[in-house]
Structure 1
C-alpha cells in the first residue's frame, strides 16, 4: 500500500522612567468623585501655571500622576509625550482617539504599572465555570475595582511597549487604541491586564498584541500569576501573535475578539486559554498554536491561515462549534495530546495535509463535517480515536496516492455514524496494525474501494451501505483482516470483493446484500453466514 510521506505538523513558534515626585505646590480645590478619590484635569496646551482644576488644568501628565492620593485624571485632546508610571488605582480618562500618549524613543514603555515587592498577586482566571461573567458584563466586573489602574478613551502610540504590568499590578483598558509599538502592545510580567472595546494595530511585523510573559529560565523566585481577559477587541496587522500565553501560571480569556492579518491569533507555550465567539482571518501561520497548554475554543471561526488549529502535547483540548475555511495545509492538527474533545467542527477547503490530522493522541470527535479536502478527510496515526457522526465529502488527491476519507493508521478507533460522499481514494482505510470498529456507515462514490484492511490491520464493520465504488466494495491486503456483517452493496464496478490472498490476509463475510458476488470465490474470503438460496 502506498502512502503519502508527510512531515509531522510543526507547531509554529517564534514567534520609562517613573514620574517626578509630588510638586511642592498643592493644587487648588478639586472635585472628589468618591471617598479618597481626587479628580484632576490635564491639557497639554494649558499654561504651566495651572492648578489641576477644570478651569486651570495642568499641562503635564507626569505632574498629575506624581500627586498623592487616588486620582482620576481627565486628559484633554492632545499629545502627551513621555514614559509614565501608573499609581495604584489611578484612572486616566481621555476624550477619545485624539487623546494620545506618545513614547519618546523606540525603547520606551509608554505606561508602566509596577507594584511593590509585597504586592498581593491577583488570582488566576477561572474560565470553565458556568457562572463566569457573560459577554454583557452582567455578573461581575472584568476585574475588582480596588487598586485597578483604569485607562479609558485614549490612544497609546509608539515605544517598545504600550503598557507593562509587573509585580501583581492590575490594569484595565476601555476604548483604548494601541498602535506603532516596536515589540508589542501590552506585556504582563506578573499581574493582570483586562481590556474591552479596544484596538491593537501592528505597523511592523514580529510584534505581539498582548503577551503573558514567562519568568526567566534562571529565576528561582516563586512564579507569579499572569492573567488577561479581552472582550470586544480587534487586532489588525502583521502581528507575530495577537495574544501570547507563556508558562504554567498564565491564563487568558478572549471573548468576541477579531484578529485580522496576524501570523497567529493565539500562541501558547503552556498555561490556559479560553476563546469564545471569536474569529481569525487573513493570517499565514497556525491561527491557534498550542504547545503544552490547555485550550478551550467555543464558537470560533478561522478563514485562511496555514492551519486553523495546531496543538502539541496538550493535557486538555476542548473545541466546540469550530469552523475552518480555506486552510492552506490542514484544518486541525493534534499531536501527542490527551483529553481531546472536538465537537461540532466544520472544515471546508483544507489544503495539502487534509481536514483533520490526529497523531498519537486520545481524541473524541462528535459531529464532524468535512467539505472539499485535499489528500485526507480524517487522518489518525497512533493513539485512540472515538468518532461519532461525521459527514465527509469531496476528498481528492493531487497525485492519486491518497484521497482517503478516513485514513486510520496504527490507531485504535471506534467509529460510528459516518457518511462519505465522494473520495478519490478509499472511503475507510485501516492500515499498519490499526484496530478499527466501524458501525452505521453510508459510503458513496469511493474512488478505490469502500473498506480496506491493509498491513496487519483489523477492520470490523457492521451495518454498512456502499454505493458506486470505482473498484470493489471490500478489500484486504498485506495480512489485513476485514470482517463485515450487515452490508448492502450496489454498483461496485470491479465486484464485491478484491483481495491479495497472501499470508494471513482474510475477509470474513456475514450478512451481505449484493447482487454482485465477484471476488467471493477467492481463497481468503470466508463466509460466517451462508447466503440465502436464489429464488427458483
Structure 2
C-alpha cells in the first residue's frame, strides 16, 4: 500500500520554492498519507483502515530522499526516540497523541525539514529533550504541548524553526536556541526552573508569548530579538535579561519580577516601545554599558530588599533616550543616571518615588524637557559627584525635601527653566551656587 502511494507521489510531486518567510509555506502536491495506531495488535499496511501498529514501523517504510509523506498518528502513547526523515509531516490528534521519552535521549530528532502538528510530548525522566533540531534543519511545530521534566523542550542549534500555538508546562527550559532563526507565535511557558526562553547568537522573533515563573522569562547572549507581545510573570530573577544583544520589542509586560529587576540590559542595543513593568523587586529597567530607546513606558510598584534599589530606571555608563514615561510608587529613584550615562527625557512623569525624582551622579548627565515630579519622599532633583541636570518645563509639587539637592562640587550643576510649583528657594545644599534657574512664566 505504502509503495503504491509513494509511486503516485513521485508522478505528481512538484518541487516548491521557499517563500519570503522564514519557513516555506507551500504545500507539496501529491503528499503520501500514512496512518499509525499504536493501540492495534494486528499488522497493518499504513492505510486508513489498516494502520501500522507503531510509529517506528511507519518511519522505517519511508524512503530517504523520496517524495514527501504525511503520517497520521492516532491517540495513544508512543515511546521515543524517533528520527524523522526530511520533508515528513507528523500529525496527531491533539493531547491524545503522546510522544514520550524516558531517558536523556531526544524524543524526536529532525535533521531535515519537518512539520509536527497536534501532538503532545511528555518526559518520564529527567534531562530529556523534546525535539532536537541541528545543522540547518527547517521545522514547524504547531498546536503542540510539552509537559514534564524536559531539560529542554525544543533545542535548536543553527536551525530555522517556527513554533505556533505551543504550550510548555513544567520544563526546565522551553526553548534553547544557539544561532539560527526561531519564531514563536501564540506560545505559553509556565512552571519551570531556569530560563523560560534562552537564545545565544541567533535571531528570535516573538509574537504573543507569555512566560510564567522560571528564573528568567527571556535570557539572551549576543542575540537578535524582535517582535511584540512578550509577557513575563513572576520571574524569580528578571523578566528579561539581555546581554550583548540587538533588541527591538513592542508591547512588553513584566509583572512581579525578582531580585534582578524587570528588564536587565548589559552591553545591548535596545529599543522598547510600549513597556509595562508592574510590581517586583529592585529595578524596573537597568542598563549598563549600552544604548536604550524607550517609548511609552509605565513602571509602577517597585520594592527593594536592602533599601538601596527600587529605581524606575537605573542607568550606568549608558546612552538613553526616553519619551513618554510614567514612574509611580517606587522604593528608590524615578530615574537614576550614573557613571557617565547620557540621558534625554521627554514628557516624563515621576510620582511618589521614595528617594527622589531624578538623580544624577558620577558624571551622569540628564537633559529633560517636559518633566513632572510629584510626591517624592525626598527632593524632586538630585545632583551629586559631578552629576549634571538640565531641565526645561519642570513641574514639581509636594516633594518632601523640596526642589533640588546638590553638592556643588567639581562639575556638578543644575540648570532649570520654566519651573512651576515648588520654586528654587526650596532647594537644599551647601550654597547651591551650581543651581541656575530662569524666572517661571
In the aligned structure 1, how far is the partner of 2:61 from the partner of 2:206?
31
Instruction: Specify whether residues 235 and 492 from structure 1 end up closer, same or farther in structure 2 by C-alpha distance, changes over 3 A only.
Output: same
Equivalent in the alignment of 2:8:
36
Cα-to-partner distance string for 1:111-134 (whole Å, 9 max, x where unaligned): 568865xx49xxxxxxxxxxxxxx
In the aligned structure 2, how far is the partner of 1:512 from the partner of 1:330?
37
TM-score w.r.t. length of structure 2? 0.86
Instruction: Specify whether residues 324 and 531 from structure 1 end up closer, same or farther in structure 2 by C-alpha distance, changes over 3 A only.
Output: same
Cα-to-partner distance string for 1:403-437 (whole Å, 9 max, x where unaligned): 10111111111101000111111100111111000
| Greater relative contact order, per chain length (Cα 8 Å cut-off, separation 6+) | 1
Equivalent in the alignment of 1:49:
none
Q: CA deviation at 1:457?
A: 1.0
| From 213, 220, 224, the counterpart of 1:311 | 220
Q: Do residues 435 (structure 1) and 435 (structure 2) align? A: no
Equivalent in the alignment of 2:155:
244
Q: CA deviation at 1:171?
A: 4.0
Equivalent in the alignment of 1:164:
83
Cα-to-partner distance string for 1:444-485 (whole Å, 9 max, x where unaligned): 011101001111111001101111100100011111111111
Q: Do residues 364 (structure 1) and 336 (structure 2) align? A: no
Instruction: Specify whether residues 402 and 75 from structure 1 end up closer, same or farther in structure 2 by C-alpha distance, changes over 3 A only.
Output: closer
Structure 1: which 5+ residue stretches go unaligned? 1-26, 38-69, 82-89, 104-108, 121-145, 215-224
Structure 2: which 5+ residue stretches go unaligned? 10-31
Q: Do residues 512 (structure 1) and 434 (structure 2) align? A: no
Cα-to-partner distance string for 1:146-170 (whole Å, 9 max, x where unaligned): 42252421545335x1x2135x453
Map residues 262-273 of structure 1 onto 2, 5 A cutoff: 262-273=171-182
In the aligned structure 1, how far is the partner of 2:182 from the partner of 2:275?
23
Equivalent in the alignment of 1:77:
39
Q: Do residues 188 (structure 1) and 97 (structure 2) align? A: no
Q: Does structure 1 retain, via aligned residues, the 8 Å contact 2:388–2:414?
A: yes
Q: Do residues 477 (structure 1) and 395 (structure 2) align? A: no
In the aligned structure 2, how far is the partner of 1:373 from the partner of 1:178?
38
Q: CA deviation at 1:172?
A: 2.6
Q: Do residues 331 (structure 1) and 250 (structure 2) align? A: no
Equivalent in the alignment of 1:84:
none
Q: CA deviation at 1:509?
A: 1.1
| From 202, 206, 215, the counterpart of 1:293 | 202
In the aligned structure 2, how far is the partner of 1:324 from the partner of 1:487?
34
The 3-state SS of whatever aligns with 1:36 is helix
In the aligned structure 2, how far is the partner of 1:333 from the partner of 1:396?
19
| From 62, 65, 68, the counterpart of 1:147 | 68
Equivalent in the alignment of 1:173:
91
TM-score w.r.t. length of structure 1? 0.71
Map residues 49-448 of structure 1 onto 2, 5 A cutoff: 72=34, 75=37, 77-78=39-40, 101=54, 111=59, 119=65, 146-155=67-76, 157-159=78-80, 161=81, 163-165=82-84, 168-175=86-93, 176-182=97-103, 183-189=105-111, 191-214=112-135, 225-247=136-158, 250-314=159-223, 316-338=224-246, 340-448=247-355
In the aligned structure 2, how far is the partner of 1:471 from the partner of 1:208?
52
Q: CA deviation at 1:490?
A: 0.6
In the aligned structure 2, how far is the partner of 1:31 from the partner of 1:288?
42
Give the number of the structure whose alpha-carbon radius of gyration is greater: 1
The 3-state SS of whatever aligns with 1:78 is coil
Q: Does structure 1 retain, via aligned residues, the 8 Å contact 2:255–2:277?
A: yes
Aligned residues: 411
Q: Does structure 1 retain, via aligned residues, the 8 Å contact 2:36–2:74?
A: no
In the aligned structure 2, how far is the partner of 1:418 from the partner of 1:71?
56
Q: Does structure 2 retain, via aligned residues, the 8 Å contact 1:197–1:231?
A: yes
Instruction: Specify whether residues 75 and 414 from structure 1 end up closer, same or farther in structure 2 by C-alpha distance, changes over 3 A only.
Output: closer
The 3-state SS of whatever aligns with 1:450 is strand
Calculate the aligned-residue CA RMSD, in Å: 2.8
Equivalent in the alignment of 1:143:
none
The 3-state SS of whatever aligns with 1:427 is strand
Instruction: Specify whether residues 282 and 76 from structure 1 end up closer, same or farther in structure 2 by C-alpha distance, changes over 3 A only.
Output: closer
Of Structure 1 and Structure 2, the greater helix share is in 2
In the aligned structure 2, how far is the partner of 1:465 from the partner of 1:402?
21
